[in-house]
Amino acid sequence: MADSRAAANIGVVGMAVMGSNLARNLASREGNTVAVFNRSPERTRTLVGEHPEAGFVATESYDEFVASLAKPRTAVIMVQAGKGTDAVISELVSRFEPGDIIVDGGNANFLDTIRREKEISPSGIHFVGAGISGGEEGALKGPSIMPGGSAESYETLGPILSSIAAIAEGEPCVTHVGTDGAGHFVKMVHNGIEYADMQLIAEAYDLIRQGTGKSPAEIADIFAEWNTGELESYLIEITAEVLRQTDAATGQPLVDVILDQAGAKGTGAWTVQNALDLGVPVSGIAEAVFARSLSSRPAQRAAARDLPGPSGDWRPDDEDAFVEDVRRALYASKIIAYSQGFDEIVAGAEQFGWEIKKGDIAKIWRAGCIIRARFLNRIADAYSDDPELVVLVSAPYFRDAVAGTQDSWRRVVAAAAYAGIPTPAFSSSLAYYDGLRAPRLPAALVQGQRDFFGAHTYKRVDKPGVFHTLWSGDRTEIETSPSSH
Ligand code: NAP
């Protein structure tokens, strides 16, 4: 099918919703000719038939697809993550030449991206793992793009990706994140933060609904109002839309007829699994993942339905003040979610040898992606003021923001406990904050316990060295390794 005279400067493999929208986005930019290919040719035929304006070079075999690309060839894979991606990579690698570029734009696990890059790079072909956020609309109109790969491949790829990315304050939402799996790693953390943000918003809704008895439509108005201030974000905006929706069949608010069991595609769990491996406490993100798991265990929930709740009936004294407390608690908890996410990015960069510029990541999340928010400018500023910032919440702006909201935050978490309203993300974020700022933690007692039952030893606050108490003997202390250790 391909016109042999047509040399496409870029190709896309995978014509499901993401790939076809990305191909249309690419084709709409000046100077691009886009070759398209899908395993089952019907999808390609439909797309090309529906969008003659795109001038696609339609192909129906890998040979034809590869032959239609100008050298050095650049192909973006947008197929089912995992086996689908591996299958397409092997077809392209066997036909590509040194200097050609393969971009995986799917939701790959970054460890797979590291493996694939290792396998492919000896051939001289560049492999780029690019996280793409924004769903189908983002792919079409401008996503946030997080590419990882060689600096050399980014010289070719950067201008193309910049031309299709979302624009925030005049800047394209794409940056060279780092080598091999860095882009997919950052996309994974983005999704983890997205889980936390969504859970926090859901808890805020639940607190207001149960605490004040306001209707979903009234709460939609509150969220719309919040969206004009420091909480302004895509997720707050769409929350208002969802809460305002009425179900056509029953006349009920739609949120009341949606089954309360949240699904997940796994990237939140990856974020938490990886944080556990790295030893990074992403408690807000973890609670958001677990909250979805709890919601999706109907047998356990049914078995627990009759368990006792609080004996008293809690109601706020002043509803307006309570709603404002919830807004502030949401902002403080959101700061913690992002602080924890960036903590994981820093730890991942250290572990895998990436030089990730945190401020640039905050900037490319300002538009195109699901967690886009006004607040990301503040994060970019914080890292630009202090590139070595150790923990985001300690930056002056965020420290002041939490200082101004923490009394509300504490009241809300206490109220939730009194009222029996589950707020795992609000509560764990506050516990994390208090743990982080504590001058002394009961970890000292945990070390004592570990030494008692397992002779795991401990360090002292007053002198160097490693020590053990002879718990089953005369309970004197011995030094177990030279103090120089
Ligand atoms: P998808 O449903 O994840 O995958 C379907 C596509 O994969 C079809 O084009 C299918 O071809 C192809 N495919 C599957 N196995 C294949 C194989 N062995 N060889 C060749 N092609 C194969 O599609 P999607 O929703 O458009 O997503 C594409 C990628 O983007 C995924 O990695 C997804 O995780 C990621 N992503 C999706 C979203 C979203 O909002 N949907 C957002 C960001 C990222 P056939 O038509 O021949 O079956």
State the fold for domain 10-176: Rossmann fold (3.40.50)
State both tokens at 130: 């690019």
If you take atom 1 of ligand 1, which residue's CA is the nearest one?
Answer: 80
Average pLDDT over residues 348-359: 97
pLDDT per residue over 261-299, tens digit each?
Answer: 999 999 999 999 999 999 999 999 999 999 999 999 999
Same fold, 10-176 and 187-437: no
Q: How far is the CA of 19 from the centre of ligand 1 (A)?
A: 8
- Output the average pLDDT for the chain: 96
Each residue's pLDDT tens digit, 165-185: 999 999 999 999 999 999 999
Q: Which residues, listed in sequence order, are joined to residue 468 by a DSSP beta bridge?
A: 478
pTM (2 d.p.)? 0.95
Please state the atom number of ligand 1 nearest to the C-alpha of residue 43: 46
Please say whether the beta carbons of 144 and 115 come within 8 A: no
* Confidence at 239, pLDDT banded by 50, 70, 90: very high
Instruction: For residue 378, report the distance from its CA to the centre of ligand 1, in Å.
Output: 35
- Which residue among 13, 17, 18, 270 is best mutated to probe the pocket of ligand 1, counting the most ligand atoms within 8 A of its Cβ? 18
- Between CA 477 and CA 484 the distance in angstroms is 18
What digits encode the pLDDT tens for the residues 75-124?
Answer: 999 999 999 999 999 999 999 999 999 999 999 999 999 999 999 999 99
Structure confidence by residue, pLDDT tens digits, 42-81: 999 999 999 999 999 999 999 999 999 999 999 999 999 9
Residues 6+ apart with CB under 8 A from 207: 326, 412, 415, 416, 421, 423
Q: For residues 96 and 73, is the Cβ–Cβ distance under 8 A?
A: yes
According to the 3-state scheme, what is the secondary structure of 454-471? HCCCECCCCCCCEEEECC
Which range has the worst mean pLDDT, 261-275, 387-401, 470-484? 470-484
The minimum-distance atom of ligand 1 relative to the CA of 17 is 26
Every domain of the chain and the residues it spans: 10-176, 187-437, 443-479
CATH superfamily, domain 443-479, is 6-Phosphogluconate Dehydrogenase, domain 3 (1.20.5.320)
Numbered residues of the known binding site for substrate: 107, 133-135, 190-191, 195, 265, 292, 450, 456
pLDDT band at 313 (very low <50, low <70, confident <90, very high): confident
- List the one residue out of 107, 171, 117 whose CA is nearest residue 377: 171
Over 50: is that where the pLDDT of 240 sits? yes
Query: Which residue, 256, 267, 409, is CA-closest to 334?
Result: 409
Find the 14 Cα to ligand 1 centroid distance in Å: 6
The CA-based angle 305-309-312, given to 5 degrees, is: 150
Q: From atom 46 of ligand 1, which residue's Cα is the shortest distance away?
A: 40
pLDDT in tens, 191-224: 999 999 999 999 999 999 999 999 999 999 999 9
Query: What's residue 2's pLDDT?
Result: 47
Max intra-chain CA distance, the chain? 89
Residues with a known catalytic role: 187, 194
Q: What residues have CB less than 8 Å from 219, skipping those under 6 apart?
A: 205, 208, 209, 243
Annotated binding site: 14-19, 38-40, 79-81, 107, 133-135, 190-191, 195, 265, 292, 450, 456
Give residue 16 CA to ligand 1 midpoint distance, Å.
6
Question: Which are the contacts of 414, defined by CB distance < 8 A and separation ≥ 6?
Answer: none
> From the CB of 219, is ligand 1 less than 6 Å away?
no
The domain over range 187-437 is classified in CATH as 3.40.50.170: no
Atom of ligand 1 lying closest to residue 143 CA: 43
Q: Is residue 93 within 8 Å of residue 102, measured between CB atoms? A: yes
pLDDT at residue 482, as a whole number: 59
88 in ligand 1 pocket by Cβ < 6 Å?
yes
Give just the sign of the alpha carbon dihedral 317, 318, 323, 329: negative
